Structure 1
Amino acid sequence: MTYSELISFCNPMSVQGRAPETLGNLRNDSRSVKQGDIFIAIRGLQVDGHSYLEDALERGASVLITEEEFDVQKENVAVIVVQNTRNLLSPLAQKMAGDPAKKLRIIGITGTNGKTTVATLVWQALRYLNQPAALLGTVSKRINDEEMESRLTTADPIELADDMNKMVKAGCTYLVMEVSSHALHQGRVIGIDFEVAAFTNLSHDHLDYHSSMEEYAATKKILFDNLSDTSWAVINADDRYAGFMVDDTQAKVLDISLRGSALINAIVEEASAEVTIVGVEGVKIHSPLVGQFNASNIVQALIICTSLGFDGRTVAEQLSKCKGAEGRMERVSINGDDPDLPIIFVDYAHTPDALENVASTLAGLKSSDQQLTVIFGCGGDRDRTKRPKMAAVAEKYADHVTVTSDNPRSEDPDAIIHEVVTGFSDGYSYNTVTSRKDAIHTVISDSDGNDIILIAGKGHETYQEINGNRVHFDDREEASTALSWKRGQIKNSEVY
């Protein structure tokens, strides 16, 4: 992009200074600015990029894009003043990267729960269909079969454009991406055309960021409001916000239901700890994913793929092979099943609705002589109102509950636990163990083959955030270690 093209694209209110000798990369973090780069100042919730204009200059920025006048004394530095830098950032990032989004068929999935599973299932199905496809989401970034770490559900616009450019260069045709409410509210996907957008559900979450459920829903709705009349909207009609999401959309709507109340109706024909069989319009999917809530995710993945033009029966065959996302009802075992050891699942459930989905599923699958234990905690510096609600859900479905730490961040973990346990009813017996490691090991040590254990809240995460530091921690690793110790304990007792 030339300087004159940059000016034209920004549609500025004013331009100051002289044309720079060089035009480097676009940056929205002054710390990453190098000689000749363009620095765009974004007003955030906690930090205003306009406070770092001088820092960007000192690091060699040749162009400053701002919302306010800024007097620059240096030669060959330009100031471009625009009305809204946040709304400009995503389209400009795409333009400077060569418009990679226009070279991809993009599928966006939003909702409180299930978006990671649906996105992963669609990506896995596309790969089984021998399609070059990328995935962007909470658990990982994947370009075809190459995996990269993902720190945000939806990356910032500059990183997103850079990732899309890599996908195009790798020959990808499809991009399946999760679209968070934060990303929609902050304009991170402005100017990106989605061929398919899907809505999973909406429940209590992120109310530390959004002022109310109404605002949260309205933010999710942005994705569907911006669809064109050539796009598809795949909607979970069983959620009470389904109609609201597509009220103003121009897209063609495909709504699905497990209750017989939509254009496309599905039925769960079998549900066990090993398989979920779902029938959809004469097509059957035998999925290894567990639970009624996953049946909805499976159906959405099927309909997303058919809206892209693939044959439904062929997609169903591929979905039967798909295992979904890591840390979502993921079974932890060592060297196969052992009847003397507990059955353990790890799940990312960190909202009341998500915990209800997984806990109710396991409660429904257990036999009369089995006991369900739930281990969970709540994150620090996040919505505090959901903490007691999580306790109430755990009490409703579990025979035993242990409350522990999650990611306490800057909060005192014991104070978080104290707020959680206020949600238990009077007289209900529960355990609290502040150390998550100790909680997992203690529960597994005290269990046997009649126990089902759900470790909820962190799922795929391989860290804990404590006082600004990320320390390695993986629920699956700890559960495996505890199971190995338990098996050794059993073997030793058999010797005597």
Structure 2
Amino acid sequence: MTFDELIAFCDPISVQGNEPEKMGKLCLDSRKVNTGDIFIAIDGSQADGHSFVPQAVESGASVVIVEQEMSPAGSEAVLLVKNTRELLSPLAQRLAGNPAEKLTIIAITGTNGKTTVATLVWQMLRELEQDVALLGTISKRINDTTFESKLTTSDPVELASDMKRCLESGCKYLVMEVSSHALDQKRVDGIPFEVAAYTNLSLDHLDYHSTMEEYADAKKILFDGLSSGSWAVINADDKYARHMVKNTSAKVIDFSFKENGTVNAEILKTTPEQTLLDVEGIKFFTPLVGKFNAYNVVEALLIGTALGYDGKLLADVLPACRGAEGRLEKVTTKNSTQSLPMVFVDYAHTPDALENVASTLSELKKENQKLLILFGCGGDRDRSKRPEMAKISEKYGDRVIVTSDNPRSEDPQKIIQDIETGFSSTFSYRSIVSRKEAIHTAITESSSNTIVLIAGKGHETYQEINGIRNHFDDREEAREALNKLMRKLNSRGVN
């Protein structure tokens, strides 16, 4: 892109300074600017990029794009535009060669289930021998190569770079999770989605959106932007589903387990190992269990049909698709025995997600089994969730341990105290601040007739405390505790 082309694309209010000899990459972070780069200043929720223009110029920025009037400090060109945030995503795509236009992109949004649905679609397409990428919460995957992911939906510059890499790797499809924050902050503006899917909406992120109505409207942005050639796949059993597609131009596929949709589904049988589903006469097994996962699996199948694949073909490959790690993931040891408790790790960190997994395990437990629920709540996040999650754990748990999650900048003990206000005065529970100690206590003090649910962190391999991410993996700790208990039982002659 030449400087004249940049000016034409940005349509600035004014242009000051010198025409650059060269233009490099587009940067949001002044610390990443090198000589010749373009720096765009975004007024964010935590910091205003305009405050970092001097650092960007000092690092060699040849062009600075701003929405606040300022004069050149040196040899750089300054483009004053109406709204840098609205410009960012389209500009990032243009500078990367418009990779989004050359991919078939599937977007998944909703409070819970995004990661599982996105992963199932990616696995389904891989089973069909398609070249496909996945961008989401757990990781980025280009075909079978995995990269680190730091956000559910990356910033527009990183997103454009990832899409370019997908194309260079030969991908036809891109499946991505799209968060409400990303939609509100216009991170995916201008991206042509072929299919957009909505899972559900429940209490979460009210520290950012303030109300459920604002939260819902942020999600709705995805469907408002779809073209008439696109598809919207929605969970008709969710009360916000109709709101999502009220103004969409896309063709709508709505599904239901309560006969509310044009596509109706039914759970025929469920066990701790698998679920048998019927979708309009197509019957198939999935290794995922629980009603909430049944919704996820059916949504993945219907996304596949929206892409043009036959439903029966998709049903044939779905039994091989195991979904996302850290989602109702069973933790076992190398030499597990029947004397050990059954342990599951799940990412459930919202009231709705915790109720989904807790109710599923409660329904699956045998007559003599007990359910122990271990959970905490994240710091610097929506505080209204805390007592609600206590109520849900009390409803389904025979035993409950409250512990730390990612306390971030908050005092973990105070987070626990917020949670405790949700328990009834007669309910007996334990609180253990150390998550490691809590996990080991939960498992080593349990018998073979106990199901242990460790909720909140799922796939995460860190615990964030005061801005530092320390290595911590619930699955590793659970496995260590199981091995410790097994050694203890073996020393007593118990197999």
Which residues of 2 match residues 315-334 of structure 1 at below 5 A? 315-334=314-333
Quote how far apart the aligned CAs of 1:335 are: 2.7
3-state SS in 2 of match to 1:494: coil
3-state SS in 1 of match to 2:232: strand
Quote how far apart the aligned CAs of 1:331 are: 0.5
| 2:459 corresponds to | 460
- Structure 2 CA distance for partners of 1:336 and 1:261, relative to 1, 3 Å: farther
| 2:151 corresponds to | 152
| 1:181 corresponds to | 180
Q: Distance in 2 between matches of 1:393 and 1:221?
A: 28
| 1:3 corresponds to | 3
3-state SS in 1 of match to 2:174: strand
Asked if 1:449 is matched to 2:483, the reply is no
| 1:109 corresponds to | 108
Q: Which amino acid aligns with 1:82?
A: V
Q: Which amino acid aligns with 2:20?
A: P
Quote how far apart the aligned CAs of 1:285 are: 2.2
Q: Distance in 1 between matches of 2:25 and 2:474?
A: 40
Q: Distance in 2 between matches of 1:366 and 1:69?
A: 64
| 2:15 corresponds to | 15
Quote how far apart the aligned CAs of 1:485 are: 0.8
| 2:348 corresponds to | 349
Q: Which amino acid aligns with 1:353?
A: D
Question: How many residues matched?
Answer: 495
The answer to whether the Cα contact below 8 Å between 2:339 and 2:494 also exists between their aligned partners in 1 is no
| 2:224 corresponds to | 225
Q: Which amino acid aligns with 2:402?
A: V
Contiguous gaps of at least 5 residues in structure 1: none
Q: Distance in 1 between matches of 2:420 and 2:244?
A: 35
Asked if 1:492 is matched to 2:491, the reply is yes
| 2:69 corresponds to | 69
Which residues of 2 match residues 371-386 of structure 1 at below 5 A? 371-386=370-385
Quote how far apart the aligned CAs of 1:359 are: 0.1
Q: Which amino acid aligns with 1:112?
A: T
Asked if 1:42 is matched to 2:42, the reply is yes
| 2:304 corresponds to | 305
Q: Distance in 2 between matches of 1:371 and 1:272?
A: 17
Quote how far apart the aligned CAs of 1:471 are: 0.2
3-state SS in 2 of match to 1:235: strand
Quote how far apart the aligned CAs of 1:112 are: 0.1
| 1:100 corresponds to | 99
Q: Which amino acid aligns with 1:27?
A: C
Quote how far apart the aligned CAs of 1:69 are: 2.1
Q: Distance in 2 between matches of 1:308 and 1:243?
A: 22
3-state SS in 1 of match to 2:273: coil
3-state SS in 2 of match to 1:209: helix
3-state SS in 1 of match to 2:293: helix
| 1:275 corresponds to | 274
Q: Distance in 2 between matches of 1:69 and 1:209?
A: 28
Contiguous gaps of at least 5 residues in structure 2: none
The C-alpha deviation readout for 1:70-115, integer Å capped at 9, x for no partner, is 211423x211110000000000000000000011000000000001
Q: Distance in 2 between matches of 1:68 and 1:261?
A: 50
The C-alpha deviation readout for 1:398-441, integer Å capped at 9, x for no partner, is 10000000000011100100110110001100000000000000
Q: Which amino acid aligns with 2:48?
A: D
CA RMSD of aligned residues (A): 1.0
3-state SS in 1 of match to 2:413: helix
Asked if 1:136 is matched to 2:147, the reply is no
Q: Percent identity?
A: 62
Q: Which amino acid aligns with 2:248?
A: T
Q: Which amino acid aligns with 2:50?
A: H
| 2:386 corresponds to | 387
3-state SS in 1 of match to 2:451: strand
| 1:123 corresponds to | 122
TM-score (norm: length of structure 1): 0.99
The C-alpha deviation readout for 1:193-235, integer Å capped at 9, x for no partner, is 1000000000000000001000000000000000000000000
Quote how far apart the aligned CAs of 1:336 are: 6.2
Q: Which amino acid aligns with 2:159?
A: L
The C-alpha deviation readout for 1:280-314, integer Å capped at 9, x for no partner, is 01112211111000000000000000110111111
| 1:399 corresponds to | 398
| 2:212 corresponds to | 213
Q: Distance in 1 between matches of 2:308 and 2:72?
A: 54
| 2:286 corresponds to | 287
Which residues of 2 match residues 51-90 of structure 1 at below 5 A? 51-75=51-75, 77-90=76-89
Quote how far apart the aligned CAs of 1:35 are: 0.1
Q: Distance in 1 between matches of 2:127 and 2:494?
A: 48
Q: Distance in 2 between matches of 1:351 and 1:467?
A: 22
- Structure 2 CA distance for partners of 1:495 and 1:349, relative to 1, 3 Å: closer
Quote how far apart the aligned CAs of 1:68 are: 2.0
Which residues of 2 match residues 477-488 of structure 1 at below 5 A? 477-488=476-487
Quote how far apart the aligned CAs of 1:443 are: 1.0
Q: Which amino acid aligns with 1:118?
A: V
3-state SS in 2 of match to 1:54: helix
Asked if 1:410 is matched to 2:409, the reply is yes
Q: Distance in 2 between matches of 1:297 and 1:223?
A: 19
The C-alpha deviation readout for 1:333-386, integer Å capped at 9, x for no partner, is 113652100011100000000000000000001011000000000000101111
Q: Which amino acid aligns with 1:414?
A: Q
Q: Which amino acid aligns with 1:18?
A: N
Q: Which amino acid aligns with 1:13?
A: I
Q: Distance in 2 between matches of 1:361 and 1:281?
A: 24
Q: Distance in 1 between matches of 2:130 and 2:121?
A: 11
The answer to whether the Cα contact below 8 Å between 2:54 and 2:73 also exists between their aligned partners in 1 is no
3-state SS in 2 of match to 1:269: strand
Q: Distance in 2 between matches of 1:27 and 1:474?
A: 33
Quote how far apart the aligned CAs of 1:46 are: 1.7
| 1:241 corresponds to | 240
